[in-house]
């Protein structure tokens, strides 16, 4: 059971890079542009402070790929010491959408290896690349997405999936965050992280409401547990170019 709990924690860590879609860069932003996001729990303490910085940019006739440094300071409890992590993730801008490549999940491999005291971790991925269209409208339904992973640690295989369902645009409104005021669409969705190890399995469910700026990304996200109780609020606190 202890090993299963470690696999579940590892799966949550692997899922963390998918939150990179919480950044809100434009494809026209230069290398060096920086954004800071702060997540506050329902109890009022800061659980996460993440700095996103553009460290690379590749352009072609049809798309732009930004490489981001994602530096996070995460606390699992109010009085716990923060866990410092640095990941490198990519965001793909096409004429139609912003895409989060599923390979971003592999960025957490080093953290998982540390959790398992340096044991070699192997991962393989399948499924969808989560994305958000550039052309949004109220009432629009977005496709479900699912990223699946196989994690192998010392011959033990675990299966993980991160699934987003019931994705829909419910409103268009002006939202104000510490970094500024933006015209945004409200995206509501449900998500489930599921982990299976041998005959054991466990799921973590939540729902979220995000304020998405077309062509950029999410400037604010509010998450709720499976009973609809507020869990956290994440906002963009600064944006420098």
pLDDT in tens, 163-214: 899 999 999 999 999 999 999 999 999 998 888 877 777 788 899 999 999 9
In the chain, where are the structural domains located?
2-240
CATH code at 2-240: 2.40.360.20
Q: Model-level pTM?
A: 0.86
Q: Residue 17: its pLDDT value, please?
A: 47
pLDDT in tens, 31-62: 999 999 999 999 999 998 999 999 999 998 88
Q: Residue 107: its pLDDT value, please?
A: 66
Average pLDDT, the chain: 85
- For residues 2 and 28, the model is more confident at 28
**Does 3 have pLDDT greater than 60?**
no
Look at the alpha carbons of 55, 97, 159, 155 in this order and tell me if their dihedral is positive or negative: negative
- For residues 19 and 42, the model is more confident at 42
Structure tokens at 185: 């669409």
Contact 228, 212 (CB under 8 A): no
Q: Which residues contact 236 (CB under 8 A, 6 or more apart)?
A: 24, 35, 36, 37, 177, 178, 179, 219, 220
CA distance 213 to 85: 27
């Amino acid at each position: 059971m202890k090993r299963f709990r470690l696999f579940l924690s590892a799966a949550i860590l692997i899922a963390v890079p998918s939150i990179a879609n919480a950044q809100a860069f434009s494809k026209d932003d230069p290398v060096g542009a920086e954004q800071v996001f702060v997540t506050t729990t329902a109890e009022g303490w800061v659980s996460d402070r993440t700095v996103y910085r553009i460290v690379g940019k590749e352009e072609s006739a049809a798309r732009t790929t930004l490489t981001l440094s994602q530096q996070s300071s995460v606390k699992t409890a109010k009085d716990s010491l923060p866990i410092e992590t640095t990941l490198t993730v990519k965001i793909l801008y096409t004429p139609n959408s912003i895409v989060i490549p599923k390979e971003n999940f592999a960025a957490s491999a080093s953290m998982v290896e540390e959790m398992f005291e340096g044991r070699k971790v192997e991962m393989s991925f399948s499924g969808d690349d989560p994305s958000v269209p550039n052309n949004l409208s109220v009432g629009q339904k977005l496709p479900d997405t699912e990223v699946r992973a196989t994690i192998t640690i010392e011959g033990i295989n675990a299966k993980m999936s991160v699934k987003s369902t019931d994705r829909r645009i419910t409103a268009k409104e002006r939202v104000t965050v510490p970094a500024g005021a933006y015209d945004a669409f409200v995206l509501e969705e449900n998500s489930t992280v599921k982990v299976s190890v041998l005959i054991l399995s466990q799921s973590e469910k939540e729902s979220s409401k995000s304020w998405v700026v077309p062509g950029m990304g999410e400037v604010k996200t509010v998450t709720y547990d499976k009973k609809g109780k507020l869990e956290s609020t994440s906002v963009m606190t600064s944006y420098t170019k």
